[in-house]
């Protein structure tokens, strides 16, 4: 679960717990108040009836009914039980008729307030003495209005709780979304930074908060990374440059040696060997130089509008020049009807170097068997497929072929340095494209390159 949702949930659960506790408190407090005031009402009524029953001039029954009819409006299910002094039998009957806890009856005997509540019925008991007479009264009634009031309060609290939860969850989500906005912004920015635009930095908000700290920390890290990258790149570039001059001198000297008339066959062979190996080294150093330049900052190069079909044709003629015996065929069947879809924004020299490396590999690792270069347009991208029927790449090594200086185990009889593909990969990434490979040992290899078209 996303932290944003987790915060909204925790926020909602906490608020729910607070609202529930508060509602329980309000409900319990109100119920106690309503119960007490009803007990009090019942006691007042019992007291009046008991005193009226103690009047010496009238019989208990007639006083009770006269008084009740004249002054008291009946409470729901109201009943009174009067026991005069010495009416032991009646008292025993009452105990079995109203099975209330013995503490209730003990309180009456001790002349203390006796109150009890069971099944929504309130019971009160009084022990009253007047004019030398003595009477016990136990009354019961149901507080229907109080119960209704409590029911209303319960419903109100529940509806209030539900509405509050909807508000809290919605605002919780909005609130956490708001809080995480700057973090999402940072994630977007960081995702956009790669080896090719390492000079980019995160925008730091002027507010001196944790998000500002985080952006500053990221920027510091990027500064350190950029310096390290720069140092590594400069080292490779400088080293390659430094190698060039002595290598040119060596091959020049070898050529000079070869041009001396009358040298023996052995010496001639030795000069030829020096010339060949120094040419290889020259090729290696210039490849390393290109790798170093492309691996870091694409803005160094000049970009322009290029047509991919023309570029592939120029790759083919370069290969024809190097290996006239090649079997490279360009398949134009997949070309889009709209020619503008073949245009892309890029550096021609670098793209040509990348495709030449890939197609030359196909020729090399298939011993000049047929190689098909197909140009097409799919999913809003220019697609170039290079397919050969060569030696293939072993499954467990395929993931490493873009690592500089890596060469698969089945390439021993072929010359190479393991720089061509990493270089091609860097160039394609620099053009915001992608390269993937599928291969079966003994059957062949297919490279698929996607490049974004020119945005008109």
Q: Which of residues 98 and 428 has its CB atom nearest to ligand ADP in the complex?
A: 428
Of 209-248, which residues contact ligand ADP (CB under 6 A)?
none
CB of 334 to ligand ADP, least distance (A): 20
Minimum distance, C-beta of residue 384 to ligand ADP, in the bound complex (Å): 14
d(Cα 314, Cα 332) in Å, to the nearest integer? 15
User: Own/partner pairs for 364-368, CB < 8 Å, 24+ apart?
Assistant: 364/414, 364/416, 365/390, 365/391, 365/411, 365/414, 365/445, 366/390, 366/391, 366/444, 368/323, 368/325, 368/326, 368/327
**Per-residue string for binding with ligand ADP, 422-451, x by CB under 6 A?**
x----------------------x------
Least distance to ligand ADP from the beta carbon of 254, Å? Answer: 24
Number of residues that bind ligand ADP (CB under 6 A): 21
Tell me the C-alpha distance between 213 and 326, whole Å: 59
Q: What is the dihedral of CA 144, 147, 153, 159, to 10 degrees?
A: -100
CB of 234 to ligand ADP, least distance (A): 23
CB of 414 to ligand ADP, least distance (A): 7
User: Nearest approach, Cβ of 315 to ligand ADP (angstroms)?
Assistant: 15
* Nearer CB in complex with ligand ADP: 22/417: 417
**Nearest one of 46, 134, 96, 95 to 104, comparing CA atoms:** 95
The CB-of-445 to ligand ADP minimum distance in angstroms stands at 4
Q: Identify residues 318-357 at the interface with ligand ADP (CB under 6 A).
A: 357
Please give the Cα distance from 280 to 291 (Å, whole number).
16
Pick one of 362, 426, 449, 454: the residue that binds ligand ADP (CB under 6 A): 362
Considering beta carbons, is residue 51 or 407 the nearer one to ligand ADP? 407
* 245, two tokens: 């001059």
CB of 4 to ligand ADP, least distance (A): 44
Q: Nearest approach, Cβ of 362 to ligand ADP (angstroms)?
A: 4
Closer residue to ligand ADP, CB minimum distance, 298 or 420: 420
The candidate with the shortest Cα–Cα distance to 243, out of 296, 280, 197, is 280
Question: What span, in angstroms and rounded, lies between the C-alpha atoms of 55 and 84?
Answer: 12
Give the residue at shortest CB distance from ligand ADP: 416
Give the separation between CA 80 and CA 136, rounded to whole angstroms.
10
- Specify the residue for token string 């440059």: 241
State how far the alpha carbon of 319 is from the alpha carbons of 47, 63, 116, 359, 399, in Å.
Answer: 119, 129, 106, 8, 27
Looking at the DSSP assignment, which residues form a beta bridge with residue 385?
Answer: 374, 448
Binders in 86-115 for ligand ADP, by CB under 6 A: none
User: Which residues ranging from 366 to 425 are in contact with ligand ADP (CB under 6 A)?
Assistant: 388, 390-393, 401, 407-408, 411, 416-422
Q: Cβ closer to ligand ADP: 21 or 440? A: 440
| Cβ nearer to ligand ADP, comparing 361 with 426 | 361
Contact 84, 134 (CB under 8 A): yes
- Of the ranges 42-50, 249-257, 329-337, 361-369, which one interacts with ligand ADP (CB under 6 A)? 361-369
Interacting residues toward ligand ADP by CB under 6 A: 357, 361-362, 365, 388, 390-393, 401, 407-408, 411, 416-422, 445
């Amino acid at each position: 679960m996303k932290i944003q949702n987790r915060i909204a949930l925790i926020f909602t659960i906490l608020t729910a717990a607070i609202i529930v506790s508060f509602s329980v408190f309000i409900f319990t407090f109100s119920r106690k108040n309503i119960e007490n005031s009803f007990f009090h009402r019942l006691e007042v009524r019992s007291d009046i009836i008991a005193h009226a029953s103690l009047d010496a001039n009238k019989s208990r029954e007639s006083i009770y009914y006269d008084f009740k009819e004249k002054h008291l409006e009946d409470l729901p299910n109201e009943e009174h039980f009067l026991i005069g002094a010495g009416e032991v039998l009646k008292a025993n009957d009452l105990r079995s008729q109203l099975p209330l806890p013995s503490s209730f009856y003990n309180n009456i005997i001790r002349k203390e307030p006796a109150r009890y509540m069971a099944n929504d019925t309130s019971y009160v008991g009084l022990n009253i003495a007047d004019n030398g007479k003595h009477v016990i009264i136990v009354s019961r009634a149901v507080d229907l209005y109080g119960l209704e009031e409590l029911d209303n309060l319960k419903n109100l609290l529940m509806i209030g709780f539900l509405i509050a939860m909807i508000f809290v969850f919605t605002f919780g989500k909005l609130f956490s979304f708001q809080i995480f906005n700057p973090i999402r912004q940072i994630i977007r920015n960081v995702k956009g930074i790669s080896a090719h635009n390492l000079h980019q930095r995160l925008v730091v908000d002027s507010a001196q908060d944790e998000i500002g700290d985080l952006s500053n920390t990221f920027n510091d890290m990027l500064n350190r990374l950029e310096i390290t990258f720069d140092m590594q790149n400069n080292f490779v570039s400088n080293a390659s440059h430094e190698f060039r001059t002595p290598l040119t001198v060596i091959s020049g000297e070898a050529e000079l040696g070869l041009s001396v008339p009358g040298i023996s066959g052995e010496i001639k062979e030795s000069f030829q060997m020096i010339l060949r190996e120094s040419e290889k080294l020259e090729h290696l150093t210039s490849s390393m130089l290109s790798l170093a330049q492309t691996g870091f900052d694409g803005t160094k190069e000049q970009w322009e509008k290029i047509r991919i079909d023309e570029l592939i044709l120029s790759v083919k003629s370069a290969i024809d020049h190097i290996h006239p015996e090649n079997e490279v065929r360009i398949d134009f069947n997949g070309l889009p009807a709209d020619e503008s879809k073949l245009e892309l924004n890029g550096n021609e020299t670098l793209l040509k170097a990348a495709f030449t490396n890939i197609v030359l590999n196909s020729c090399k690792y298939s011993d000049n068997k047929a190689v098909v270069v197909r140009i097409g347009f799919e999913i809003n991208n220019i697609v170039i497929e290079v397919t050969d029927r060569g030696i293939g790449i072993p499954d467990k090594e395929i993931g490493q072929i873009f690592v500089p200086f890596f060469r698969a185990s089945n390439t021993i009889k072929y010359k190479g340095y393991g720089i061509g593909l990493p270089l091609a990969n860097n160039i394609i990434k620099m053009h915001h494209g992608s390269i993937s490979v599928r291969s079966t040992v003994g059957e062949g290899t297919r490279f698929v390159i996607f490049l974004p078209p020119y945005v008109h």
